[in-house]
Amino acid sequence: MKIKVGIIGPQDSVKYILQVAESYKDIDFIPFSYEATEDTLTILKENDHMIDQWLFSGQAPYHFALANGVITESRGSYPSLQGSSFFGTLLGAVLNEGKIIRNFSIDTISDSVFQTADEDHFLHTLQFYSFPYRGYMPSDELVAFHQTLYDEGKIDAALTCIRSVYLRLKNLGIPCYRVKPTQSAIKIQLDLLKERSLSGKYRMSQLAIFGAEVIQEEKYPSYKLKHQILDLSRLLLDFTEETKGSFVQMGDGLFVIYTTKGELDLSIDGKRIENLMKTIHIQTGLKIRVGLGYGMTVFEADQHLRYALQHAREHKSETFVMVNEEKEVTEFYHQESTIQFHTRKWGKEWEKKFKEASISPGMVSKIESLANHYRKTHITTNDLSIWLNSSERNGRRILGELEKLGLAIATGEEQSGHRGRPRKIYKLLFV
């Protein structure tokens, strides 16, 4: 399947980019030209669903679309205006005027381009009035900038990067020349968009294994539970069809769905997984824990699913845990928040130390994420037991191990409000 890249800009710019792009046989280029920069919004809203990446003709339409939220930085780009673009236009202006002209106004291009050009080519004999800006600037302001300088006799010609500004200045009788990106600048962006699109398609086709496990409150299975599990199977089968996956029941309480990251990402958006868990509880009376594993291979995705379910089992209530291909763990909570931590943060030296202690690097990374989430560096065993949904005794054991490893230090005590010894307050040294 070919990559689809949308080219968006004024008609002459789009035509020029298409000529440069003729050598890219593995990409389908779809042109979209406009009369005004503001037309960008309509074009994107109506056609974004069929385009992998967007190449904008310049800074103005790109940042206008970005500012209006119709595109993200990962979905588009534009060719930068390099020094060679500026020099080509400058030379053309001098040749066309048929005389030496030394005073110019120029918009859009950053001051750093002039500084570099001056150092390399001794342009200090020329006078430039620049109007650099970031993002999008209405053409009225740019026209006023050039026109004022010309009316005051400060410039001989105007250089602009915006087509609408160029046309209006020409109509006003102001000598004006348009700066366009070079072929090399366009090809750099085409290569970037191609690589980005292929990477995105590869990630979307990545394997994903979804696991749902019943939190069984009954010690022994009953006919009622079996009926509930049958109802659960029906709901999960509907979800499997939605994600275009393959459904397997591993036992009385464990269900697995094999699908791809692209299909599953569509379902994760908009709290689909959380809503599914709520629907299951309402319609079947069952509570489930959900694990999701991503991987480059079936084996890797399966290992990450097992790891996700292992983390989910640490909670007594319904939980959704995801483990990606980098072994990064994300826990989703009903309070509209997530906890994310990485199990590969610690090096080999620390892995050896963790083996000697009765605590895993994943647990330490999880505590770090929880501490950052709650914005606390000083905690007690009670705080930790609440965070981990475990006993205070377990919290005391973990903090003791962290102290042995030099990752925590006791800094004081507090009264628990009950009889007995006061609780120690620990400072986490790795947060």
Q: Same structural domain for residues 264 and 332?
A: yes
Domain extent at residue 371: 345-431
Distance CA(344)–CA(347), nearest Å, equals 8
pLDDT, tens digit, for every residue of 92-148? 887 887 777 888 999 988 777 666 655 555 567 788 888 888 888 888 999 999 999
How far is Cα of residue 103 from the mean position of the Cα atoms in its chain? 44
pLDDT, tens digit, for every residue of 58-93? 888 999 999 999 999 989 999 988 767 777 788 888
- Which of 289, 309, 344 is a domain's end point? 344
pTM exceeds 0.75: no
**Nearest CA to 321 among 297, 345, 298, 305?**
305
Would you state the structure tokens that stand for residue 71, as one six-digit string? Answer: 């595109």
Which CATH number characterizes residue 338's domain? 3.30.70.270
pLDDT, tens digit, for every residue of 245-293? 999 998 778 999 999 888 887 666 547 788 888 889 888 889 999 999 9
Residue 324 has pLDDT above 90, yes or no: no
Q: Same structural domain for residues 315 and 383?
A: no
Give the relative orientation of helices 361-374 and 348-356 as an angle to the nearest 10 degrees. Answer: 100
Residue 348 has pLDDT above 70, yes or no: no
Residue recorded with tokens 């599953």: 264
Contact (CB, 8 A) for 429 and 367 = no
Q: Same structural domain for residues 297 and 173?
A: no
45-54, 62-71, 191-200: range with lowest mean pLDDT: 191-200
Entry field: residues in the chain: 431
Give the relative orientation of helices 392-404 and 361-374 as an angle to the nearest 10 degrees. Answer: 110
Q: Same structural domain for residues 98 and 117?
A: yes
Q: Same structural domain for residues 216 and 263?
A: yes
Q: Same structural domain for residues 109 and 167?
A: yes
Contact (CB, 8 A) for 8 and 57 = yes
pLDDT, tens digit, for every residue of 354-409? 777 778 777 888 888 788 777 788 898 888 888 877 788 888 889 988 888 888 89
Would you state the structure tokens that stand for residue 407, as one six-digit string? Answer: 């990752």
Q: Same structural domain for residues 296 and 223?
A: yes
- Which of 172, 202, 232 is a domain's end point? 202
Q: Same structural domain for residues 196 and 256?
A: no
- Which of 293, 312, 344 is a domain's end point? 344
Q: Same structural domain for residues 88 and 131?
A: yes
> What values do phi and psi take at 34, rounded to 5?
-140, 165
- Name the strands in the sheet holding 320-323, side by side, starting at the edge strand that comes first in the sequence: 246-249, 254-260, 207-214, 288-295, 320-323, 328-333, 337-342
Which CATH number characterizes residue 383's domain? 1.10.10
Beta strands in 82-137 (DSSP E): 103-108, 127-132
Which CATH number characterizes residue 19's domain? 3.40.50.2300
Q: Same structural domain for residues 197 and 75?
A: yes
Helices within 205-258 (DSSP H only): 223-242
Q: Same structural domain for residues 198 and 215?
A: no
Q: Same structural domain for residues 296 and 159?
A: no
- Name the strands in the sheet holding 423-428, side by side, starting at the edge strand that comes first in the sequence: 378-379, 423-428, 408-414
Question: What is the pLDDT confidence band of residue 200, given thresholds at 50, 70 and 90?
Answer: confident
Distance CA(291)–CA(302), nearest Å, equals 10
Residue 12 has pLDDT above 80, yes or no: yes
Residue 218 has pLDDT above 60, yes or no: yes
Q: Name beta bridge partners: 425.
A: 412
The structural domain count of the chain equals 4
Say what the alpha-carbon torsion angle 334, 338, 342, 343 is, to the nearest 10 degrees: -10
Task: Look at residue 314 in the predicted model and tell me its pLDDT.
Answer: 82
